[in-house]
Amino acid sequence: QKEVEQNSGPLSVPEGAIASLNCTYSDRGSQSFFWYRQYSGKSPELIMFIYSNGDKEDGRFTAQLNKASQYVSLLIRDSQPSDSATYLCAVYHSGNTGKLIFGQGTTLQVKP
Amino acid sequence: DAGVTQSPTHLIKTRGQQVTLRCSPKSGHDTVSWYQQALGQGPQFIFQYYEEEERQRGNFPDRFSGHQFPNYSSELNVNALLLGDSALYLCASSFGTGNSPLHFGNGTRLTVT
């Protein structure tokens, strides 16, 4: 079992729709969760982080965390073609502070 | 406010050679982490430096080594390069060794022929 799992996609949504990206993690004690966006050929860019159960909203982005289910998601409302990128989920382990573990990423395609 | 800077941007080396990659952290950050990202994969943790010491290490062989300087900048050295070392090498900085967000540089694209 991978430590952080994501569906590689591609996830294709029409412009203006809600894109839902999902991630599961194996370490039940994990406390900190991050979403990065990576455009092709570029480096990852931090877009959201969440530490507590529930939802956290920032503009068109909402991160959702359910520690009991070991599940974190990212919702992108009013998706734009410029949102087309790979979205990386990352988790810090509970017993290995400092080692941020990434999933393989989900490729999102927003079609005009 | 300067972000994380990495050099060089691109590098082509021959199998068996050695390479040194450099990183300057974001202003105010004192911790540097290095990642390797193969095409189509997520970044893989190599190691983390704090207070000039290696604090955490991922599953990489001893051919991968590093250093952190008193000004918090860092180097990644890879010896005896293999074709499989071809990847995007990412440096990320943060403050302290807690669970703070990492901020990435633009990366160094290493090609081993």
pLDDT (tens digit per residue) in A8-39: 999 999 999 999 999 999 998 888 999 999 99
The dihedral built from the CA positions of residue A49, B48, B92 and A80, taken in this order, carries a sign that is negative
Find where tokens 């991922």 sit.
B58
Q: What is the pLDDT of residue A79?
A: 98
Look-up of token digits 């949102």: A83
Mean pLDDT score of chain B: 95
Give me the residue from B43, B50, B97 closest to A44, CB to CB: B43
pLDDT of A99 > 90? The answer is: no
Q: How far is A103 from chain B (nearest CA, A)?
A: 6
- Inform me whether the pLDDT recorded for A97 exceeds 70: no
Average pLDDT over residues A76-94: 95
| B1 — pLDDT class (breaks 50, 70, 90) | low
Q: What is the pLDDT of residue B97?
A: 77
* Residue from A2, A43, A56, A104 to probe the interface with B (highest B Cβ count within 10 Å): A43
Nearest by CB to residue B101, choosing from A6, A43, A46, is A46
Task: Tell me how many residue pairs between chain A and chain B have CB atoms under 8 A apart.
Answer: 61
Cβ–Cβ under 8 Å, residues A59 and A41 = no
pLDDT at residue A29 in the model:
87
Contacts of B88 in chain A (CB under 8 A): 43
Chain A positions touching B58 (Cβ under 8 A) are: 99
Separation between Cα atoms, residue B108 and residue B91, nearest integer Å: 9
High-pLDDT (> 90) share of chain B, %:
93
Å between B15 CA and nearest CA of chain A? 24
Contact B42 A104 (CB under 8 A): yes
Residue A70 has pLDDT above 90, yes or no: yes
Nearest to B13 by CA among B97, B77, B107: B77
Whether residue A1 has pLDDT greater than 90: no
Residue numbers in B near A101 (CB within 8 A): 45
